[in-house]
Chain A
Amino acid sequence: MSTLPADKDLASLQGLSYAETYHAAEHFRDRDHEFDAVKMGVWLFLSTEILLFSGLFVFYAVMRMLYPEAFIHGSSLLDWRWGLINTVVLLLSSFTVAAAVRDAQLGRQFWLKVNIALTFLFGLAFLAIKFVFEYYPKWQEGKLPGMFYSYPNWESPYEPLWWGLYWGATGVHASHVIIGMGLFAWLYIRAQKGHFGPRHYNAVEGVGLYWHIVDIVWIFLFPMLYLIH
């Protein structure tokens, strides 16, 4: 921390980048020590994310057990094709983010930036599809949560509840996508400053893992919401 400026000076003297000379924060013995600690922290954080979504899945399971007809009919009103396209978009983004981590590890600065940018764009595409082709038409047709529900062709009186869960679950997921995009923007700026390299790629890896979780959650949400028969 207090030693960073010195690192930077040395680095510029020797023509080395920040990432190549980065040592570790002062309270760690060395870089490996810090690396392990950060990795453990990231995994703990991810476990809280998994628990958060598990809570959501339990809500879903309870409600679906109580009102299966409402869920089946509600689900039939979703267009599985958009869901599938978005699944593909997120899978592609998972691939690019994994590539970004590899690039950082190998010090391929150019491809690192490309892959971070691509992941960001896939996130954006996901949201665009979600909002333009799913949220907006449903809003128009009154397929809204609970009390705001005004869609005329319902089959079960509990469909407002289904829509409540649909909006709640996809909304919480979408907010994670937005946060992820913010993180990729931050990574991109740091990548441009040459902060990442073989000796220093914690942040890329951490955000990458986060993004995989966001992805996996969608892989669960997709069949749970779109593919019930």
Chain B
Amino acid sequence: MASIPTKAGSHAHDHGHDDHSYLHPKGGFIATIWDWASTVDHKKIGMMYLVAVLFMFFLGGVAALAVRLELMEPTRVIENQATKTVQVTGQLFNTNPGSIAEGNVIYNRVFTLHGLIMVFLVIVPSIPASLGNFLLPLMLGAKDVAFPKLNLLSWYIYLFGSLMAVSSALAGGVDTGWTFYTPYSTMTDEGHWRVVMMIGSAFILGFSSILTGLNFVVTVHKLRAPGMGWFDMPLFVWGIYGTAIIQVLATPVIGITLLLLIFERLFHIGIFDPRIGGDPVLFQHFFWFYSHPVVYVMILPGMAIMSELIAVHARKKVFGYRAVAFSSLAIAGISFVVWGHHMFTSEGELAATIFSALTYLVAIPSAVKVFNWIATLYGGSIKLNTTMLYALGFLFLFSIGGLTGLFLGSLSTDLHLHDTYFVVAHFHYVMMGSTIIAFMGGIHHWWPKMTGKMFNELWGSIGFWLVFIGFNVTFFPQFIMGSHGMPRRYASYIDEFTIYHVISTYGSWILLAGFIVHLFNFVHSLVAGAKAPPNPWGALTLEWTDAASPPITHNFHHEPIVTHGPYDYDDVVPPQTKPGEFPLPPPLPAGSAKH
């Protein structure tokens, strides 16, 4: 075989690569657009996802603000006996002054749109597809993900699925709720294609999710740099790895379920239709068999970010690295056997009891993480910058979200709380209060790396406080009204609940203000921000120690060789920082234990 030319040796010296940052434009405007549209560079794909996800977050946010505005005032029908006229008050979406029915249907469509966008187009892809794509190869010391073309394909599938969902919304929207429960999803809007289109878009987005997950699993297994064992990986990678496994294993099941749902709607095959013996509850089982694991697809990446933020900005070795790493896998595993807790009111008593018991198991690895983060903070040199504020915000909000999950996981309380605003508040505390908060923290943390620019810390913290306060003002009252019996998914309510709804709506405006501040801060940073050094936080993971800000197209000039752990702040002066900028901690007094 000696005659066969190989490129052995090409790795010691990376020939002919351009040393420009990946953001460096390739030629003119059109050429640059084409360069991005056809790129297989994981960093560019990650950035495109980031922009798309944030745009979808904006769309979903507009729908959310509309929902809150509608709920500002209860709907009242005033019949005037003298003039024989009917007047409707307090309805935002009223198109027919004589009736509340149409307005209610529009309300249903708006909250459904909000839920669908936020779940399928924002949270599920958010952290893995944007930050995960950008960071995974960098953190592992690889040049790219295992299958770069597949990565581009999943981006276009995402784009296509999103366009489908948005056009279905523009065509009038759907009245099914984000959960697509039958018979809503099989019988509402009969004769229209938009419901099929919406379900179809969720089906298609599933492919994107599977391909991304598959790509990441193989990347983690096969593309770690020399010297990086499993327990030398940053915890971010562990979290994304757990997420990717769930994506690969759970999504096919929703795939077949949604496919059968489409058949049911188009061809009336009957499996979910009790008129011919089908079972609507069967749909719920299948839906939650996917969608419960998927709530961990939403939270695990947030937890993944948390481990990095806390360790870096407290300059401490993560307490119990292995516990945090394995708890990701434990969460991934347990998440497959608890789906029945969404159906306590529709399944049998024995099943409900078993699912309730299993549900409590999930709390254990979740709590392991929380306690480990707190222990990591203990004795650290904590810098209260925007990023750390977001990390602390996560700890606070996730604790509330997780603990209220326990109220819902216990049968006797859930019978009372099911389908009330208590559930709405619970899942917003975990999805928005935890995942989106962690996402925001992560964007700030890696912003200098991704864009090469620093952002303004003061405005960042102001944005944080607005978001944090706005979030709590919006959602905490929902726990109270939910426990008092306010049901979810109604456009109107009895007077008793008015005060909570009004507070909640005010909160949503504070939230809006917070995100606007962040938006301006980001734009300002892009336009006028100071140039970012390669390692502004003094971190020890490869994306900071071995890559430029922003990284070059091929990530590293030389394949990195890992010589220290990701969190060895006690022993290693962070590379690529100015001398003395991040000094080692003073040696411990003799005789004191080092953990």
Query: Any chain B CB within 8 A of the CB of A172?
Result: yes
Segment at the B interface, from A37-45, A92-100, A105-113, A124-132: A37-45
Query: Any chain B CB within 8 A of the CB of A137?
Result: no
Contact of B214 among A36, A44, A51, A158 (CB under 8 A): A44
Query: Any chain B CB within 8 A of the CB of A160?
Result: yes
Query: Any chain A CB within 8 A of the CB of B76?
Result: no
Asked if B267 and A148 sit within 8 Å, CB to CB, the answer is yes
What 0/1 readout, one digit per residue, does chain A (56-78) give for beta carbons within 8 Å of chain B? Answer: 10110011001100100000000
Given contacts A145-B269, A164-B271, contact A55 B286 (CB under 8 A): yes
Contact of A51 among B253, B263, B267 (CB under 8 A): B253
Query: Any chain B CB within 8 A of the CB of A52?
Result: yes
Asked if A62 and B282 sit within 8 Å, CB to CB, the answer is yes
Chain A residue nearest in CB terms to B269: A164
Asked if B260 and A59 sit within 8 Å, CB to CB, the answer is yes
Query: Any chain B CB within 8 A of the CB of A80?
Result: no
Contact of A49 among B143, B252, B269 (CB under 8 A): B252
Asked if A161 and B5 sit within 8 Å, CB to CB, the answer is no
Given contacts A37-B146, A52-B256, contact A66 B277 (CB under 8 A): yes
Given contacts A27-B142, A66-B277, A145-B269, contact A59 B218 (CB under 8 A): no
Interface residues of A in 151-197 (CB under 8 A from B): 157-158, 160-161, 163-165, 167-168, 171-172
Least CB distance from A176 to B in Å reads 12
Q: How far apart sit A54 and B254, CA to CA, in the bound complex (Å)?
A: 12
Asked if B276 and A56 sit within 8 Å, CB to CB, the answer is no
Q: How far apart sit A27 and B7, CA to CA, in the bound complex (Å)?
A: 13
Asked if B249 and A20 sit within 8 Å, CB to CB, the answer is no
Least CB distance from A10 to B in Å reads 5
Chain B residues near A44 (CB-CB < 8 A): 214, 217-218, 248
Interface residues of B in 129-148 (CB under 8 A from A): 137, 142-144, 146-148
Given contacts A48-B210, A55-B257, contact A146 B248 (CB under 8 A): no
Chain B residues near A160 (CB-CB < 8 A): 270, 276
Chain A residues near B215 (CB-CB < 8 A): 41
Chain A residues near B253 (CB-CB < 8 A): 51-52, 54-55
Chain A residues near B6 (CB-CB < 8 A): 23, 30
Give the number of residues in A that approach B within 8 Å (Cβ atoms): 53
Asked if A168 and B263 sit within 8 Å, CB to CB, the answer is yes
Chain B residues near A171 (CB-CB < 8 A): 263
Chain A residue nearest in CB terms to B244: A44
Interface residues of B in 523-537 (CB under 8 A from A): none
Asked if A23 and B7 sit within 8 Å, CB to CB, the answer is yes
Query: Any chain A CB within 8 A of the CB of B278?
Result: yes
Given contacts A20-B4, A145-B268, A147-B270, contact A55 B256 (CB under 8 A): yes
Asked if A41 and B214 sit within 8 Å, CB to CB, the answer is yes
Query: Any chain B CB within 8 A of the CB of A227?
Result: no
Chain B residue nearest in CB terms to A26: B143
Asked if A41 and B269 sit within 8 Å, CB to CB, the answer is no
Q: How far apart sit A23 and B377, CA to CA, in the bound complex (Å)?
A: 48
Chain B residues near A87 (CB-CB < 8 A): none
Asked if B278 and A161 sit within 8 Å, CB to CB, the answer is yes
Asked if B249 and A10 sit within 8 Å, CB to CB, the answer is no
* Given A30-B8, A45-B214, A163-B269: 8 more A-B contacts, CB < 8 Å: A7-B5, A14-B3, A27-B142, A27-B144, A40-B218, A52-B253, A54-B253, A165-B271
Report which B residues bind A (CB closer than 8 A): 3-8, 11, 40, 137, 142-144, 146-148, 150, 210, 214-215, 217-218, 221-223, 248-249, 251-253, 255-257, 259-260, 263-264, 267-271, 273, 276-279, 282, 286
Report which A residues bind B (CB closer than 8 A): 1, 3, 7, 10, 14, 16, 20-21, 23, 25-27, 29-30, 33, 36-38, 40-41, 44-45, 47-49, 51-56, 58-59, 62-63, 66-67, 70, 145-148, 157-158, 160-161, 163-165, 167-168, 171-172
25 A–B contacts from the bound complex (CB under 8 Å) = A14-B5, A27-B148, A27-B223, A37-B221, A44-B248, A45-B214, A47-B248, A47-B249, A48-B210, A49-B252, A52-B253, A55-B252, A55-B286, A59-B256, A145-B268, A146-B267, A146-B268, A146-B270, A157-B277, A158-B276, A161-B271, A161-B276, A164-B267, A165-B271, A172-B259
